[in-house]
Structure 1
Amino acid sequence: MKRAATRIGDGETELEVPLETVCFIIIKAREFDAKDPVTEPSPASNPSDDHSAAILEDHDDDPVLEELRSLISDLSVDAQIDLVALMWLGRDDQSVDEWQGVRQQAADAHNEHTSDYLCGTPLLADHLADGLSTLGYSCAEYECEHL
């Protein structure tokens, strides 16, 4: 996939994570965030009897969450750092001028738990979208093509 580049300050900086990947993560995070709390932890009914309502609940073995964690874990370290920095940039309402500092903080804090950290962050999709917007990007075109 093509890398996304943006003008930041005096130089050009490339995101290590492809824009398409960030947009896909945003869509998956919205799918997961839309789930309801589990109302019956171990239903003994047939899924066809309850009209597959359990799909709409937030179970530990949720396939959307597993896909999201797997995708993030499979990214390069630099791409994971960019995701965390984008989330922080959007969450903390910072400016494009602060991108390099935020990215450096994300690099300093990076560890093997990045996918758990990101997936456990409330409003992850909104923060990532806001971070992209701060850098001048949008997932609107990607969403039109894939939704």
Structure 2
Amino acid sequence: MDLLTPLETYCRLILRARELEAQVPAEDPDEDADNVDDLDGDDEDSQALSVLEDELNTGVEEEMRAVLDDLADDQLSEALALAWIGRGTYDPAEWDEAFAEAGENDPESAIDELMDMPLLAAHLEAGLAAFDFTCEGIGQMD
């Protein structure tokens, strides 16, 4: 199989999807102080741990949406089909069927499905690997 979308584009999406998955929402200061994760009541420990969390950066999500939005319809179908194969919804031998079904989605629905897919980075990476493509040695992925 030959990719319709440059491998570098997928590698960039995988990198950004990983960044997005690592983000956690900022804590609401108005939230109840009796946090179930704070078993000993030591706020200093919970503050120290919160430093390790990446807070939401809407720029990463906007960049991913922009990259997906710039893809042609067949490239978007390819991305969705690769994610489905990586997730195990389809077997690599069912590529034509996965690609055809992905093509039935309107572009906005395909983008929304990709953006809402848990573990998108892992699914895209596995989908690419199923066809012997890898991001190793490409850009920031090495």
Q: TM-score, normalised on structure 1?
A: 0.73
1:28 and 1:64 in contact (8 A); partners too: yes
Is 2:64 the counterpart of 1:75?
no
* Offset at residue 93 of structure 1 (A): 5.9
SS of 2:5 mapped into structure 1: coil
Unaligned runs of 5+ in 1: 1-5, 7-13, 43-52
What is the RMSD of the two structures over their aligned residues, measured on CA atoms?
A: 2.3
Is 2:10 the counterpart of 1:22?
yes
Identity %: 34
2:119 matched residue in structure 1? 123
Residues 27-83 of structure 1: per-residue CA shift (max 9 Å, x gap): 0000110011221389xxxxxxxxxx6x92236xx1100111111011111111100
Specify which structure has the higher proportion of helix.
Answer: 2
Give, in whole Å, the separation in 2 of the partners of 1:118 and 1:112.
Answer: 10
2:102 and 2:110 in contact (8 A); partners too: no
What is the one-letter code of the residue matched to 2:135?
A: C
Unaligned runs of 5+ in 2: 31-50
Give, in whole Å, the separation in 2 of the partners of 1:121 and 1:83.
Answer: 12
What is the one-letter code of the residue matched to 2:140?
A: H
Is 2:30 the counterpart of 1:34?
no
2:76 and 2:107 in contact (8 A); partners too: no
State how many pairs are aligned: 121
> Which portions of structure 1, spanning 4 or more consecutive aligned residues, are displaced by more than 6 angstroms?
none
1:146 matched residue in structure 2? 140
What is the one-letter code of the residue matched to 2:28?
A: E
Larger RCO (alpha carbons 8 Å, 6+ apart): 2
1:56 matched residue in structure 2? 54
